[in-house]
Chains A and B, each alone.
Chain A
Amino acid sequence: MRGMTLIVKTTAGFLIGFVVLFGFYVVLTGHISPGGGFAGGVVLAAGLVLVILAFGADTVKKRLGHNLAVVWESLGAIGFLAVATLGFAAGSFFSQFLPLNEGFKLFTGGAMPLSNIAIGIKVGAGLFGAFLMLAVFRASEARVRKGKGGQR
């Protein structure tokens, strides 16, 4: 799939910044307002999916490579597990090891913002990677179908 028209590409390029910004906002403020790592991660993934839809899967894969998505996904998972395991070292699994800082500010909630960031990265990279793989697979399938019986 080669992507859509110039109008779509321009609009998508304009929108993607806002979508990603909103994703980060949702991830970072998860502990004081609605949202959190999951919602924010899915927003991030949706923004990247917009890029795939507008510019075509092959282009995106060439520029980014889906291996990058797996690495980020695993890093996010390891990060979250690390936050949990640091708690394990500090007392019991998942116990808090950072000061709580009463109040409604960004830096409250102990290790919760850290967990949120790790989850956001993980979910965003994971869903983006899965969608990219699917889109690339679809593209290669279409090529095979067009060149009937073409050996791969």
Chain B
Amino acid sequence: MAEVMVPLYSILAFMLIAAIIAVETRDLLSSVLCLGAVGFGLALVDLVLKAPDLALTQVVVEIFAVVLLIRMVVARQDMTEENVADTPHVALVGAMLLVIVIACFISFQALVPFARPLMRMGGAYLEHGQTLTGASNLVTAVLLNFRGYDTLGEATVILAAVVGCYALLRTRGLKSDAGNDADS
């Protein structure tokens, strides 16, 4: 147990620190890079917790997201943030978050403990997965066969996002002359 806890805690702490720096740095570019560090931290967590599929996907997705964000920030005029919220607002948000964290701290002790999952649904997939689906990577077996319908939904989300991007990047919303509807 202990041999996994040390790297796990240190990576989680690293992610937490990187996240705080990302939120608090005034320079937006550094902030985006720290965000990349948080994502790579998650990829490391995936590796430590025996999830190579996730680590691979997380790394490529993180690269893509960070490239997207850097593209967005670089070459635009204001690179630093100037305005911050007023103190009472910050105090209110802080107090609410503290309540949430304390509530979770107390109640999460009632969770099934870490490293001892119930594995009811997952156990059945592990046991019968290869004979029923023919795939030796059981994550793919779950993703594309047992829960393939979720994957269809996920592919649809990407389509919706891409169509949404195309819709939002039109130069005009309304036609310039509303009377003319020749090519709709």
Interface positions of A (Cβ within 8 A of B): 26, 30-39, 42-43, 45-46, 49, 53, 70, 73-74, 76-77, 80-81, 84, 93-94, 96, 100-104, 108-110, 112, 115-116, 119, 122-123, 126-127, 129-131, 133-135, 137-138, 142, 152
Docked complex Cα distance between A46 and B152 (Å): 22
With a cutoff of 8 Å between Cβ atoms, the chain B residues found around residue A46 in the complex are 60, 63-64, 67
A contacts with B: majority SS: helix
Docked complex Cα distance between A52 and B144 (Å): 31
Of A45, A100, A130, A152, the contact of B165 (CB 8 Å cutoff): A130
Known: A112-B140, A126-B158, A134-B165. A101 touches B53 (CB 8 A): no
**Is the beta-carbon distance between B166 and A70 smaller than 8 angstroms?**
yes
B contacts with A: majority SS: helix
Docked complex Cα distance between A112 and B132 (Å): 12
**Is the beta-carbon distance between A133 and B165 smaller than 8 angstroms?**
yes
B56 within 8 A of A: yes
Nearest CB on A from B46, distance (A): 10
**Is the beta-carbon distance between B140 and A152 smaller than 8 angstroms?**
no
Docked complex Cα distance between A30 and B169 (Å): 34
B10 within 8 A of A: no
With a cutoff of 8 Å between Cβ atoms, the chain B residues found around residue A115 in the complex are 144, 148, 151
With a cutoff of 8 Å between Cβ atoms, the chain B residues found around residue A81 in the complex are 152
Nearest CB on B from A97, distance (A): 12
With a cutoff of 8 Å between Cβ atoms, the chain A residues found around residue B134 in the complex are 31, 100-103, 108-110, 112
